[in-house]
């Protein structure tokens, strides 16, 4: 029950006035035992106040919509000109980014591929860990362990990205340099590991919720057929929760592709094609972050175009997420 008052919906100003008139007349009827003169005046004033308040709340409600529109419009307005000038093919599929060269090149394929590889790597690394942890927490762990781990996971979600970046710079990057014996540890692999850790909380939280919601009847049926508890969790509970788990993964993808600062601190930040795991690379996010401060002219416009491409990726991910959530909701 969301609706309290049976008043007709109010959209535009015309409806607004009509609704106001209707309401006034009903109130008159209700209060007809009271002295007419005073009451009419009073209730009219009250009604005006009610309508004003309603209008204000409507405006507040629409702010979120306004913000989305504003962001979309601004990104398009500022992102499209550079794409137009550079040419969409040269922009999206150009393999070289040299924004400050005498003959500047604005190809963002390295950024796009880095973002895709980096996110894919984070998913390959983070999803199995998050998934296995979720099954353990949802099905096996004692209530105590579960609640302690859930607060630990919330903590992981709350750690600022710059802290991830800092620890990555001082632990991960030197670690990679030593273990793999490469000249510089800052690069794609370091970014992938940091992102994998950063997406863990989203994956775990959402998967645990989905697994907790699996009806116990399914599990009982499986156990009664002689399956062991673990066989039951992986062959019945997990398939039953697959939409929720898929949504968790998509959410993680969204997190990974949008992360800027932590990646900026460990990825080396050179606009190379991501040819190897140890290559120093730039993501879509870090491309924007690293040049914005001192950019101008076409370079600056191109950075907005990069942001636009990133935004498109995010919207695509949002749509996928919604698809999975809706499918789960309909079941």
Within 32-71, which residues bind other proteins (CB under 8 A)? 46, 49-50, 53-54, 56-58, 60-65, 67-68, 70-71
* Among the listed residues 36, 225, 276, 326, the single contact to other proteins using CB under 8 A: 225
Measured at the alpha carbon of residue 107, what is the angle toward residues 123 and 104, in degrees to the nearest 5? 140
Q: Find the shortest distance in angstroms from Cβ 57 to other proteins.
A: 4
3 backbone φψ class: left, alpha, beta (φ>0; ψ -120 to 50): beta
Per DSSP, 181 falls in state T
Q: Write down the H helix ranges in 213-267.
A: 216-224, 229-232, 238-240, 242-258, 261-266
Q: State the residue for tokens 């990825």.
A: 267
* 143 makes contact with other proteins (CB under 8 A): no
Interface of this chain with other proteins, residues 250 to 289, rule: CB under 8 A: 254, 257-261, 264-265, 285, 288-289
Of 70 and 88, which CB lies nearer to other proteins in the complex structure? Answer: 70
Q: Tell me how far, at minimum, the Cβ of 160 lies from other proteins, in Å.
A: 3
- Pick 156 or 277: Cβ nearer other proteins: 156
Among 74, 76, 93, 180, binds other proteins (CB under 8 A): 74
Cβ distance to other proteins smaller for residue 72 or 276: 72
By CB under 8 A, residue 2 contacts other proteins: yes
Q: Do 143 and 319 meet the contact criterion of CB atoms below 8 Å apart?
A: no
Tell which residue, 197, 210, 198, has the closest CA to residue 135. Answer: 210
Buried residues in 76-115 as b, exposed as e (16+ CB within 10 A): eebbeebbeebeeebbeebebbebeeeeeebbbbbbbbbb
CB closer to other proteins, 89 vs 203: 203
Kindly tell me which of 74 and 180 has the beta carbon lying closer to other proteins: 74
Site string for other proteins, 166-205 (x = CB under 8 A): xx-xxx-------------------------x--x---x-
């Amino acid at each position: 029950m969301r609706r309290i008052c049976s008043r007709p919906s109010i959209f535009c100003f015309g409806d607004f006035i009509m609704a106001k008139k209707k309401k006034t007349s009903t109130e008159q009827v209700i209060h007809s035992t009271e002295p007419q003169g005073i009451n009419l005046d009073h209730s009219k004033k009250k009604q005006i106040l009610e309508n004003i308040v309603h209008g204000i709340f409507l405006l507040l409600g629409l702010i979120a919509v306004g913000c989305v529109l504003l962001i979309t419009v601004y990104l398009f307005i500022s992102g499209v000109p550079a794409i137009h000038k550079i040419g969409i093919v040269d922009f999206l599929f150009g393999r070289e980014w040299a924004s400050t060269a005498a003959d500047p090149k604005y190809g963002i394929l390295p950024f796009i591929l880095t973002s895709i590889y980096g996110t894919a790597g984070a998913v390959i690394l983070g999803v199995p860990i998050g998934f296995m942890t979720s099954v353990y927490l949802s099905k096996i762990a004692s209530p105590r362990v579960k609640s302690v781990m859930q607060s630990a996971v919330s903590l992981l979600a709350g750690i600022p990205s710059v802290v991830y970046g800092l620890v990555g710079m001082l632990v991960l990057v030197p670690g990679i340099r030593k273990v793999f014996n490469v000249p510089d540890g800052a690069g794609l692999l370091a970014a992938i590991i940091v992102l994998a850790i950063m997406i863990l909380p989203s994956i775990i939280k959402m998967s645990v919720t989905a697994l907790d919601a699996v009806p116990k009847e399914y599990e009982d049926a499986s156990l009664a057929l002689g399956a062991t508890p673990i066989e039951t969790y992986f062959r019945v509970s997990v398939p039953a929760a697959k939409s929720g788990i898929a949504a968790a993964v998509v959410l993680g993808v969204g997190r990974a592709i949008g992360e800027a600062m932590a990646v900026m601190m460990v990825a080396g930040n050179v606009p190379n094609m991501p040819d190897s795991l140890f290559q120093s690379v730039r993501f879509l996010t870090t491309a924007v972050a690293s040049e914005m401060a001192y950019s101008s002219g076409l370079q600056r416009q191109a950075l907005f175009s990069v942001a636009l491409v990133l935004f498109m990726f995010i919207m695509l991910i949002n749509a996928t997420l919604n698809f999975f959530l809706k499918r789960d909701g309909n079941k």
